[in-house]
């Protein structure tokens, strides 16, 4: 059945497709103040499930949630030189409160290293207080001149973790643990987004960090999206905010720290990794609605059977929705669920029932198949499993097909126009990064030649993965 | 065993006791900007569990979570006359963004009726789109001149629900459903805080509402705390923001609305309802840590038995913590868990083991009893059940003992100095409210003489419950 084209095809205009799918799937709207975002219930449902999966793993990694204030005194930013340089241009500043001009204007947090460290310095006395690992789910503000929903908004939702450790090694290991056990695990096993892991180059580091570790994914237009970062902060903030502890030998020393975050940007990454010209394709493990049972027509047996099927699927632990909106056309409803990317549709009409069947439609590849009414739950569970695996496989194949091995910066510039290039870091260096930058290409991360995670960014023979990015 | 007095006794100075217990139980700190708050991990654990309990019930009531922006254009506030009058004096205003003076300053949300209605007007077309029920977990800012941790802070965390309905009756019923099925249920059955439910008088309504329904609790100093409110907004905001729909008869009409919220203030209410001179008493259903198993001394058998007991309690679904910090004195650790209000302590030392026992200490009344090692899980489960019930009972008895029936405003002023007074609303009225106000006493809610919930604030023969409040 031919459908009217509701979305701009990806091949025609990818950014336009992205805007279209966000609007048609009712994920988000632009806020009234430039750069802000309204996250609609279906979009928030995606975020809420990402949050829960990240939160569970953060707690398993030993960090406790806490809350630090939205408002930060301006002078806090001055204390760490690189940090102030990095964030000052993006600050939103409150100058009026309670009807009066404030004596000291306050910044709205763009990130909370400064204020959190001012409390760490009060809370930590001895090595017995370490490690101290806290996480804050919150909204932050960075003034954006070129906003894009989910990817780059003036206000966004995120978590920021902050930890203090007794030694450099403990901090280094913890930053990696978060990258691997929390972020990469959620990206791959929940979002079905394959990620490249590795340290950033010095020029791409977080303002104030000694090492930034990144999760990088490829979108369906060949561009990179940084999905999350975990920073080793060394003792930079500890020195700026006097975070010291009495070690076992009785010496007063500065703590070693990490910070790490993922944001609503993950929603954008999921959309652009899996979406196709028919809409979203939400990975089953993530999906707020994993299966929808549609009554094709307003007939008593159809309504009864669909209600029973939905109840049966719910009993199996499937997140299911029953669509009895029979006053709307079936075609319109089917298209709507397709645009929303619900992994499995179970369609039941009089013709299906006459044959003792339901029609099962998998969003992943659009395949339709008749399934006996007794076997629907089993078939849906199988489709959810295979749908998740197929999305990961497809995204991995896409990325690999759009990644080339090159030897020089010139070749990397050419390949980086349409995908990723892997180029020896020794052939790039700081000068090469500048040349790549002229073509809007950056080093996304450094890896060992076999794709392995390097001990440090200074290891010899590393490969730079380069590409355009969001 | 006599312990050093770590908290100011409640009877000596209740506000000081409140500050002490928040500091010693490590619940929160003052933020660096006046009126803001840092919620420490243990305090946030309380809030997180309140959130989960409220969230589950909000979803069961048919509302979906969404997210609306922190920034609201100043002119939005002008559109609803009472609303702007109520909130303008408390606004925080951003005038600088991205290093530049903004052409149009933006307010930080003190509540989101205005911005949410500007989206409702886009999203709603027909009666088929109703009811539309959304909820937003967020931070809001109201500039506070007399801040108090959890009770009244410039920035606080809350949820705000907003709904649109086709008729006055639907909106009225939904506002009550939230009050009863979500708020009162959580207050009583999770927080163990008995609440009085009833409409506010006209002068105590939310700015822009036609009716405000409140949950009011009595603190241990006899003062009232408003724990949550649910508002009928009538068509006031729908008219200001043009939220209309095509009804079944084909007419374009304005939606009927509600809004409702609870906040981190609930944490303060829980502290002041149950806390005693030894610290918090956290109700077992709420407690992030329901039981702690303490090794009294550093001996192998003690460490082994306590670890096994903690595992056994966890298997029973009890939220348990194992305290093996044997390098700290046992007395200090026991006091620490007592201040934190953990409902049950299971203490195991060599003397206990010699008798085949553990010592069970209930935080509710401080009772200590030996329990055979085989019966610890059963005894802990029983103590959690009875602890919850005892806290509700005790708080209800306290409130009732501090509530008197009076006939005149003068008597209400006298009784309101130490607790609640119930006085015929016909004896108070607007003039009486003004006289009560001179003594810092307000009408907390209106009720039927038997304590029942009135159909409306205009019902004859209502009783006003009056008292001082936070």
Distances, alpha carbon A12 to alpha carbons A151, A437, B335, in Å = 21, 26, 68
Q: What is the CATH number of the domain that holds B412?
A: 3.30.110
Binning pLDDT at 50, 70 and 90, where does residue A2 land?
Answer: very low
pLDDT at A4: 55
Same domain (yes/no): A430, A453: yes
Average pLDDT, chain B: 96
Structure tokens at A376: 């629907």
Q: Report pLDDT digits (tens) over A232-273.
A: 999 999 999 999 999 999 999 999 999 999 999 999 999 999
Q: Report pLDDT digits (tens) over B316-359.
A: 999 999 999 999 999 999 999 999 999 999 999 999 999 999 99
Same domain (yes/no): B192, B48: yes
Query: Which member of A41, A108, A134 has the closest CB to residue B64?
Result: A41
User: Is B33 in contact with A145 (Cβ distance < 8 A)?
Assistant: no
User: Is A141 in contact with B32 (Cβ distance < 8 A)?
Assistant: no
- Domain count within chain B: 3
What does the longest C-alpha to C-alpha distance in chain B come to?
Answer: 82
Q: Report pLDDT digits (tens) over A393-419.
A: 999 999 999 999 999 999 999 999 999
Mean pLDDT of B24-43: 97
Residue in B63, B67, B161, B340 to test binding to A, most A beta-carbons within 10 Å = B67
Q: Look-up: residue for tokens 């008729």?
A: B167
pLDDT at B124: 97
User: Which residue among B249, B274, B299 closes a domain?
Assistant: B274
Closest-approach residue (CA) in chain B for A97: B92
Where on the phi/psi map is residue B451: left (φ > 0), alpha (ψ -120 to 50), or beta? left
B151 has a pLDDT exceeding 50 = yes
Q: Report pLDDT digits (tens) over A3-29.
A: 556 899 999 999 999 999 999 999 999
Same domain (yes/no): A344, A414: no
Mean pLDDT of A443-457: 94
Same domain (yes/no): B455, B341: no
Mean pLDDT of B143-155: 95
Same domain (yes/no): A234, A94: yes
Q: Kindly compute the dihedral angle of the four CA atoms of residues A108, A112, A113, A116, in this order, to the nearest 10 degrees.
A: 110
Instruction: Answer whether B385's CB lies under 8 Å from B284's CB.
Output: yes
Inter-chain contacts counted by CB atoms under 8 A, chains A and B: 164
User: Is B36 in contact with A69 (Cβ distance < 8 A)?
Assistant: yes
Structure tokens at B98: 């991205």
pLDDT at A457: 83
Contacts of B98 in chain A (CB under 8 A): 89-92, 143-145
Q: Is residue A1 part of a domain?
A: no
Binning pLDDT at 50, 70 and 90, where does residue B458 land?
Answer: confident
Binning pLDDT at 50, 70 and 90, where does residue B3 land?
Answer: low
Q: Report pLDDT digits (tens) over A109-141.
A: 999 999 999 999 999 999 999 999 999 999 999
Q: Which H/E stretch holds residue B236? A: helix B236-240
Q: Which H/E stretch holds residue B97? A: strand B92-97
How many residues make up chain A in this entry?
470
B317 φ, ψ (degrees, to nearest 5): 85, 10
Mean pLDDT of B410-420: 96
Q: What is the CATH number of the domain that holds A95?
A: 3.30.930.10
Contacts of B91 in chain A (CB under 8 A): 96-99
Contacts of B25 in chain A (CB under 8 A): none
Q: How far apart are CA A111 and CA A99, in angstroms?
A: 27
Contacts of A43 in chain B (CB under 8 A): 66
B2 has a pLDDT exceeding 50 = no
B454 has a pLDDT exceeding 80 = yes
Contacts of B72 in chain A (CB under 8 A): 32-33
Residue in A51, A70, A74 to test binding to B, most B beta-carbons within 10 Å = A70
Same domain (yes/no): B253, B125: yes
Sheet holding A92-97, edge to edge: A71-73, A100-108, A92-97, B92-97, B100-108, B71-73
Residue A411 lies in domain: 402-467
Residue in A43, A49, A88, A98 to test binding to B, most B beta-carbons within 10 Å = A98
User: Is B66 in contact with A40 (Cβ distance < 8 A)?
Assistant: yes
Touching A: B residues 135-154, CB under 8 Å: 138-139, 141, 143-145, 154
Q: Is residue A448 part of a domain?
A: yes
SS3 A3: coil
Same domain (yes/no): A305, A410: no
Average pLDDT, chain A: 96
pLDDT at B81: 76
Of A241, A230, A30, A15, residue with least CA distance to A124: A241
Q: Report pLDDT digits (tens) over A192-243.
A: 999 999 999 999 999 899 999 999 999 999 999 999 999 999 999 999 999 9
Contacts of B157 in chain A (CB under 8 A): 67
Q: How far apart are CA A308 and CA A311, in angstroms?
A: 5
Quick check: B106 contacting A, CB < 8 Å? yes
Same domain (yes/no): A206, A174: yes
Q: How far apart are CA A65 and CA A463, in angstroms?
A: 37
Mean pLDDT of A94-121: 95
B256-271 CB burial, b ≥16 within 10 A, e <16: bbbbbbbbbbbbbbbb
Same domain (yes/no): B257, B314: no
Residue in B89, B94, B100 to test binding to A, most A beta-carbons within 10 Å = B94
Same domain (yes/no): A131, A162: yes
Q: Is residue B280 part of a domain?
A: no
B166 min Cα distance to partner chain A (Å): 18
Q: What is the CATH number of the domain that holds B318?
A: 3.40.50.800
User: Is B40 in contact with A66 (Cβ distance < 8 A)?
Assistant: yes
Q: Which H/E stretch holds residue A196? A: strand A196-199
Touching B: A residues 42-101, CB under 8 Å: 43-45, 47-48, 64-73, 76, 88-99
pTM: 0.96
Instruction: Answer whether B419's CB lies under 8 Å from B467's CB.
Output: yes
Those residues with Cβ within 8 angstroms of residue A377's Cβ, 6 or more apart along the chain or in another chain? A312, A313, A315, A316, A318
Provide long-range contacts, Cβ within 8 A and 24+ apart, for A457-463: A457/A199, A457/A200, A457/A201, A457/A202, A457/A211, A460/A426, A461/A424, A461/A426, A462/A424, A462/A425, A462/A426, A463/A422, A463/A423, A463/A424, A463/A425
pLDDT at B5: 60
Q: Is residue A286 part of a domain?
A: no
Contacts of B67 in chain A (CB under 8 A): 37-39, 44, 47, 157
Touching A: B residues 319-338, CB under 8 Å: 327
Mean pLDDT of B357-380: 97
pLDDT at A205: 94
Same domain (yes/no): B229, B317: no
Q: How far apart are CA B211 and CA A202, in angstroms?
A: 59
Q: Is residue B223 part of a domain?
A: yes
Q: How far apart are CA A76 and CA A79, in angstroms?
A: 6
pLDDT at B87: 83
Q: Is residue A2 part of a domain?
A: no
Same domain (yes/no): A119, A239: yes
Q: How far apart are CA B330 and CA A102, in angstroms?
A: 49
- Using alpha carbons only, what angle is made at residue B266 by residues B114 and A160, rounded to the nearest 5 degrees? 75
Contacts of B141 in chain A (CB under 8 A): 70
Closest-approach residue (CA) in chain A for B64: A41
Of B459, B462, B442, residue with least CA distance to B451: B462
Structure tokens at A227: 């999905």
DSSP state of A105: E
Residue B368 neighbours by CB distance under 10 Å: 10
Binning pLDDT at 50, 70 and 90, where does residue A1 land?
Answer: very low
pLDDT at A324: 97
Query: Which member of B37, B39, B97 has the closest CB to residue A143?
Result: B97
Q: Report pLDDT digits (tens) over B309-322.
A: 999 999 999 999 99
């Amino acid at each position: 059945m031919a459908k009217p084209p509701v979305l701009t095809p990806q091949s025609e205009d990818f950014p336009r497709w992205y805007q279209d799918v966000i609007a048609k799937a009712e994920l988000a709207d632009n806020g009234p103040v430039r750069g802000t975002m309204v996250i609609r219930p279906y979009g928030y449902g995606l975020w809420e499930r990402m949050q829960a999966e990240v939160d569970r793993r953060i707690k398993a990694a030993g960090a406790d949630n806490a809350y630090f204030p939205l408002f930060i005194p301006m002078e806090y930013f001055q204390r760490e030189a690189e940090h102030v340089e990095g964030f000052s241009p993006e600050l939103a500043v409150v100058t009026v409160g309670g009807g009066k001009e404030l004596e000291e204007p306050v910044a709205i947090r763009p990130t909370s290293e400064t204020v959190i460290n001012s409390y760490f310095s009060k809370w930590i006395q001895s090595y017995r207080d370490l490690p101290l690992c806290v996480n804050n789910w919150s909204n932050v503000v960075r003034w954006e001149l070129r906003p894009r929903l989910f990817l780059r908004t003036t206000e966004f939702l995120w978590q920021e973790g902050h930890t203090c450790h007794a030694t450099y090694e403990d901090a280094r290991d913890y930053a990696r643990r978060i990258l691997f056990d929390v972020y990469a695990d959620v990206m791959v096993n929940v979002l079905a987004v394959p990620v490249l892991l590795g340290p950033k180059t010095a020029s791409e580091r977080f303002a104030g960090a000694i090492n930034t570790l990144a999760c990088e994914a490829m979108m369906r237009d060949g561009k990179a999206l940084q999905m999350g970062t975990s920073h080793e902060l060394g003792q930079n903030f500890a020195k700026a905010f006097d975070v010291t502890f009495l070690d076992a030998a009785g010496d007063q020393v500065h703590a070693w720290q990490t910070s790490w975050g993922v944001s609503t940007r993950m929603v954008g990454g999921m959309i652009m990794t899996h979406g196709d010209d028919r809409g979203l394709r939400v990975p089953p493990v993530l999906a707020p609605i994993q299966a929808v049972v549609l009554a094709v027509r307003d007939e008593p047996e159809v309504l009864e059977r669909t209600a029973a099927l939905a109840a049966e699927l719910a009993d199996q632990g499937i997140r299911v929705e029953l669509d009895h909106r029979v006053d709307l056309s079936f075609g319109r409803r089917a298209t709507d669920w397709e645009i929303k990317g619900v992994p499995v549709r179970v369609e039941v009409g009089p013709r299906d029932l006459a044959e003792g069947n339901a029609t099962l439609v998998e969003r992943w590849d659009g395949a339709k198949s008749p399934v006996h009414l007794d076997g629907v739950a089993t078939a849906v569970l199988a489709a959810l499993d295979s749908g998740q695996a197929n999305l990961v496989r497809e995204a991995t194949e896409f990325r690999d097909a759009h990644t080339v091995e090159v030897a020089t910066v010139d070749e990397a510039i050419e390949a980086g126009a349409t995908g990723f290039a892997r180029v020896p870091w020794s052939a790039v260096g700081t000068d090469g990064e500048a040349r790549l930058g002229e073509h809007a290409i950056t080093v996304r991360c450094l890896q060992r030649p076999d794709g392995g995670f390097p001990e440090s960014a200074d290891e010899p023979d590393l490969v730079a993965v380069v590409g355009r990015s969001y």
